[in-house]
Amino acid sequence: MKVILIPILLLTSLAFAQIDPKFTDLQNCRACHDEQLADWSTTWHSRTSEDKNELFSSLLTYTSKITHKARAEVNLECAKCHNPRLSIDKIDKNYIYAKAFGLETEQTKEIDKKLHSTQTQNGISCYVCHNIDHIKDRGSLKEYGTDLFTWTKGDLIVGPYDESGRSIFHKNDHREFFEDSNTHCNSCHSGNANIGNLPGYETGEEMAGHDISCVDCHMGSKKRGYIAPQIAIENAPAKIRDIKSHLFAGARNSDILTTAISLSASENLGNIELLVQNLIPHKVPTGFSGRSIRIDIEFYSSDEKIIKKEYVNLRAKFLDRRGEEAFSYVATKLENDTRLKPLESKTLVLKKPSGAKYLRAKANYYLVAPELQGLLNLVDTTFTKAYPILETKLELN
């Protein structure tokens, strides 16, 4: 008897089944939720994936080089939070070797297609947040994103409202995590994506003990209105609803930075005291560990010349095993963390240089700290430029 060996691809698992194509084409939401789609399109939730985010893409390459892992393997780890609908379960050795030798096989083609599919590249889209059926209680911060989610089936969309009988395009239902939305947000905004036990993303942990919701600040203030009022269904009239902005306000698409800190200067017995206050209940800066705030202080003489410059960094500094500055994903040590703790007030004492008539202090925000920019070759200045937060001036005696 002739035995025929049939190779079975166990690579993609059915648990990651395709999403209804009417959901992956986000333009389909426009007819009834134009506002939500327009807002979301300006946010960085729409650019969490490698084809749309140069910083993320560079960090995949960087992390893969330093950890000697295949780039796609690193991508898969990050995808738990950055591309939760990436439909690849795991990447095996055949793929890794084929890629290392530049070979194109059926398998590499299939995986690469999935990595770059619309479904993946849409990032944290409507069919991420509104297709989560259930969020598991987590054992530790080592579980995050897709470790915690199960997805809704068919065309069920979940959100803050009960089943309304009004939607004709998709079914709808209520899920509790839209009331306590911090659990939802923190399934990705708190999680340890770093090696060992170095702190990773901890925005949720930072807020422990503060009874306030992420959406209160990041999804704007509520407004009242009807959703899809053009749909008239007998016995199911449109209800007036609270509608949140889908801006997920951040440094790039809003002026939220100006509400983060205050800065003032005073003179005390020949010393200058610079007071920086964090006005919010999570760290400033928070989130991605490469962020920084730099306060530049310039002392001027009476003829408007700068006679001295100093600066203070508010950021976390990570080192790799050689003791050099590194991004957190590959770091083995947290050297120091000068970010402002929730609601912290920090007084920085500076010596007054002789001949100084006044000083200017300016706080700028960086998506990637200037000290780290040299580790990557970023072209898009969105990631490298300074975002001015505020400044203050003090006349000296």
Instruction: Restricting to residues 211-240, name those near ligand HEC by CB under 6 A.
Output: 212, 214-219, 227-228, 231, 238-239
Give me the least distance between CB of 52 and ligand HEC, in Å please: 8
Return the H-helix or E-strand segment holding 35: helix 27-41
In the list 69, 288, 298, 319, the residue contacting ligand HEC (rule: CB under 6 A) is 288
Nearer to ligand HEC, 79 or 356 (CB): 79
CA distance 201 to 285: 11
174 binds ligand HEC (CB under 6 A): yes
Say if CB 310 and CB 295 are below 8 A apart. no
> In the structure encoding, which two tokens stand for residue 161, read together?
């409202």
Binding window for ligand HEC (CB under 6 A); candidates: 24-32, 95-103, 109-117, 344-352: 24-32
- Which residue number, 33 or 317, has a Cβ lying nearer to ligand HEC? 33
In the bound state with ligand HEC, the residue whose beta carbon lies nearer, of 151 and 299, is: 151
Question: Can residue 119 be called a binding residue for ligand HEC (CB under 6 A)?
Answer: no
CA distance 361 to 311: 9
Please name the amino acid found at residue 110. Answer: E
Count the site residues for ligand HEC by CB under 6 A: 102
Q: 243 to 272, contacts with ligand HEC by CB under 6 A?
A: 243-244, 246, 248-253, 256-257, 259-260
Q: Tokens in use for 249?
A: 């306000």
Q: In sequence order, what are the residues at sequence separation of 6 or more whose Cβ sits closer than 8 angstroms to the Cβ of residue 244?
A: 215, 219, 220, 222
85 binds ligand HEC (CB under 6 A): no
Q: Smallest distance from the beta carbon of 56 to ligand HEC, in angstroms? A: 4
- In the chain, the N- to C-terminal Cα span, in Å, equals 101
Footprint (CB under 6 A) of ligand HEC, residues 25-54: 26, 28-29, 31-33, 36-37, 40, 44-45, 47-48, 53
Q: How far is the CB of 372 from ligand HEC (least distance, A)?
A: 11
Q: Any idea what DSSP says for residue 391?
A: E
What's the rounded Cα separation, in Å, for the pair 81 and 108? 23
In the bound complex, what is the minimum distance in angstroms from residue 108's beta carbon to ligand HEC? Answer: 21
Applying CB under 6 A, among 19, 193, 265, 369 the residue interacting with ligand HEC is: 193
**Which parts of 326-345 interact with ligand HEC (CB under 6 A)?**
329
- Decide if residue 19 touches ligand HEC (CB under 6 A): no
Beta bridge partners of 275: 264, 347
Interacting residue with ligand HEC among 69, 71, 138, 170 (CB under 6 A):
170
Q: Does 129 bind ligand HEC (CB under 6 A)?
A: yes
* Beta-bridge mates of residue 172: 157
Of 107 and 328, the one with the shorter C-beta distance to ligand HEC is 328
Distance CA 215, CA 287 (A): 16
Residue 241 binding ligand HEC, by CB under 6 A: yes
* Residue 376 engages ligand HEC in binding (rule: CB under 6 A): no
Between 99 and 244, name the residue whose CB sits nearer to ligand HEC.
244
> What does the alpha-carbon distance between residue 37 and residue 34 come to, in Å, rounded to a whole number?
5
> What region does 352 belong to: left with phi over 0, alpha with psi -120 to 50, or beta?
beta
Contact 329, 350 (CB under 8 A): no
Place of tokens 């898969």: 76
